[in-house]
A and B are shown apart, each in its own frame.
Chain A
Amino acid sequence: MNGASCQDTAPLEAILEKYPREEASLIQVLQDVHRAYHYLPCDVLEKVAETLDVPLAKVFSVATFYKAFSLKPQGKTIVKVCMGTACHIRGAGQLVEEIQRLLAIGPDETTPDMGFTLKTVNCVGACAMAPVLIVGETYHGNAKPAKVAKALGVEGKHHAH
């Protein structure tokens, strides 16, 4: 099977208990699965399709349609740079460039040690604090390239200048 699988189905059992077994629960289930596994493992998706009685093709269609979902394992810390209009004109692009310099990864890529995944995301609604950098669950407003290393916790480490 193409796509990354996992072995531990225990978290999945707990999730499936929470929702009615029907198509309308699909996206909520996938979100909980994504939060538990940090991505959507293919064998878990098969189980979801079976339990909710939704054809696997449709589950895969939904999993690939929505940006919230990754079918590949992601890094421990997700780094998001908001690309909303306010952030764009206040220098979001330079934040991305700085992260690329520090971690040697581009958008949607993960560092080889699975430490970080970089994502460019749509407006997160903190426009007055543009540009916004989110490291894990922490929001950093008015982010400047010079402050990125500290926000990532990699000060003094990689500097691919």
Chain B
Amino acid sequence: MRIEGKAAFEEAVRKAREEAASRRLEVLVCCGTGCLANGSQKVAEALAAEADRRGLSASVGLFTKKTGCHGFCERGPLVVIQPSGTLYTRVKPENAGEILDKAVSGDGAVTRLLYRDPATKKPVEKYDEVPFYKNQTRVAMRNIGKVDPADIRDALAHGAYRGLVRALFDLSPEEVIAEVEKAGLRGRGGAGFPTARKWKAARKAPGEPKFVLCNGDEGDPGAFKDRSIMEGDPHSVLEGMVIGAYAVGAHEGYIYVRDEYPLAVVHLTLAMEQARRWGLLGKNILGSGFDFDIRISRGGGAFVCGESSALMRSIEGKTGEPRQKYVHATDKGLFDCPTVLNNVETWADVGAILDRGGEWFASMGTAKSKGTKAFSLVGKVKNTGLIELPMGTTLRHIIYDIGGGILGDRPFKAVQTGGPSGGCVPEALLDLPVDYEKLTEAGSMMGSGGMIVMDDRTCMVDVARYFLGFLIEESCGKCTPCREGLKQMKVLFDDLVAGRGRPGDIERIERLAEGMQLGSLCELGKSAPNPVLSTLRYFRHEYEAHIERKACPAGICRDLTAYEIVAEACNGCGACAKACPADAITGEKKALHVIHQGKCISCGACFTVCPSDAIRFFPKAERPEAASGGLP
């Protein structure tokens, strides 16, 4: 199985392709964590068992395959039939029989399981025609959903390691770096640092050994592209790292995977074992004489370990405390040795760049942000999932054309990008082309690619407070501005949402924000004020309402909001009473229902389910009897 030399590699690929072709029909079941959460494991098992029972592999060459995340998580569990390209959504185990019937007969599809376009209301049969997929350009995620991550031959059949072969046999390390520079690749973890520049510095740095690391700590809540890449196409990460190691002269590497991604660890470990057996990792890779091997290091549950110096300390077995980086990691990083750390997606791009050329990659994107970017589109949007698009795509296109617009057709309010270090972008900026510079100018940032869509039922003060709550748990506590500043900022926000805001609070918040931005040791503390400052920039009136009128315009802050049923609109359907977790609503069938203010906890569940728009919310402060619970 071990491959030595270019010719042997071509032969191995040829064999893998032949084998893939012999699988005349493939039933691909998405088994990424998202679909698994929706029961896709049972779907995969049902399909495999039924196909087995019918002897389909022998009779018609039909094989079932578990793949990584297809991306269209909203509609999972997802099944794709190849070569017809039929996409089935919301599949249940009991659908196995009919899916196989149609796959084998080649005669149409199970119509009711097809994706239905909300605009035309018509079913769309082919994967390539579904708007969610049609508009994507998948580079980092090129093979996810197509390959079985547990089978290296499948990866080889789909182009894995071609870039590595070119790098090792046709290019010098300097030429490899030049190719990456031509591509204009910038770090996909959030900071957007030019990858070639980092590699050059590490290559030049004196000292042995050198390390290449993969940052799989994806801590931004709302981002899961790295998880999907590690789970769904681990070889893309391995290939990138071998190329990078060759370029900078490293022979050891680590993939740091956060503790919350156990499946990624399993798939990466298996992929590494297989790669070693085939000579694509380890000693004398492909017979080229180049040695490089990788170890997996699991995180312990700490967002701060996504920060490069904290990550390295974690690999060293220490607490994840960042250090001041006046000496760059490319000079002294892991174990004080020259180190290159890149994000999962960055590594996944490298293989494609070496295979298809830097010029090809740079032909996509904007002037300063080349190539494509993976985004996780989540929140109050109809089509939630994972997408990859050229840099420069507008937010409007992403949210409306691909995302299908706002859930429930409610008004769009903002999209949060960049995780806890990012900010909220309002409706006025929906035509912003997404790239590193434009998002930063707007007061947000690219971050990991998480895009959380928010509707009018989102309180921006609450959003800022949410991120503060998150960061307070994640601060390492080493430096005063972050440790104490986050605590005090949260106190100010707790007061705001509880109606205890005072005049001057906005100025207090801004002063503390500046102190944290300028004084903190690492980016966690420095960027912690971003959600606060960006929501203040675009939604100042909400802050003012909380302070001056003790009101929450979005009706979310429970201490400030009361709910009541509008008599004229209520038809007595009782949906509200059923949804109420506090037993605060009473009413006879088909008669007017009533919310008992004394019992109501203002959670808004009734508002969400009422089909007749019969529930309204208003500031508690406007109904003094309401606040004291004096109403019936």
Contact = CB atoms under 8 A, between A and B. Distances in A.
Say whether A associates with B: yes
Interface of A: 22-28, 30-31, 52, 54, 58, 61-62, 65-69, 83-90, 94, 97-98, 101, 121-130, 132, 139-142, 145, 161
Given A89-B458, A128-B386, A129-B37, A122 B315 contact: no
A129 to B, nearest CB: 5
Given A27-B300, A86-B452, A89-B452, A127 B37 contact: no
Instruction: Give 5 closest A-B pairs by Cβ, nearest first.
Output: A66-B300, A128-B73, A84-B221, A67-B301, A141-B37
B224 A126 contact: yes
Given A26-B317, A83-B470, A123 B300 contact: no
B385 to A, nearest CB: 5
A132 B317 contact: no
Interface string B410-451: 000000100100000000000000000000000000000010
Contacts of B88: none
B261 interface: yes
Contacts of A66: 259, 299-302, 319-320
A145 B377 CA distance: 24
Nearest to A142: B38
The DSSP consensus for interface residues of chain A is helix
Nearest to A68: B301
Interface string B20-50: 0000000000000110111000000000000
Contacts of A67: 259, 300-302, 473
A70 B185 CA distance: 41
Contacts of B317: 22-27, 52, 54, 62
B408 to A, nearest CB: 12
Contact of A161 (B379, B386, B467, B583): B583
Contacts of A121: 260, 301
Given A86-B222, A86-B452, A123-B222, A129 B581 contact: no
Contacts of B222: 84-86, 123, 127
A141 B227 CA distance: 16
Contacts of B224: 123, 125-128
A145 B581 CA distance: 9
Contact of A28 (B297, B302, B378): B297
19 contacts: A52-B317, A61-B319, A62-B317, A66-B301, A68-B300, A68-B301, A69-B300, A84-B221, A85-B378, A86-B378, A87-B221, A124-B33, A125-B33, A127-B221, A127-B222, A127-B452, A129-B38, A139-B33, A141-B38
Interface in B358-411: 376-380, 384-386
Contacts of A139: 33, 36-37
Residue from the set A97, A101, A122, A125 with the largest chain B CB neighbour count within 10 Å? A125
Given A61-B319, A88-B221, A122-B303, 18 more contacts: A24-B315, A24-B316, A25-B317, A66-B300, A67-B259, A67-B473, A85-B467, A86-B221, A89-B452, A89-B458, A122-B473, A124-B260, A126-B37, A126-B73, A127-B221, A132-B37, A139-B33, A139-B37
Contacts of A52: 317
Given A84-B222, A127-B378, A65 B298 contact: no
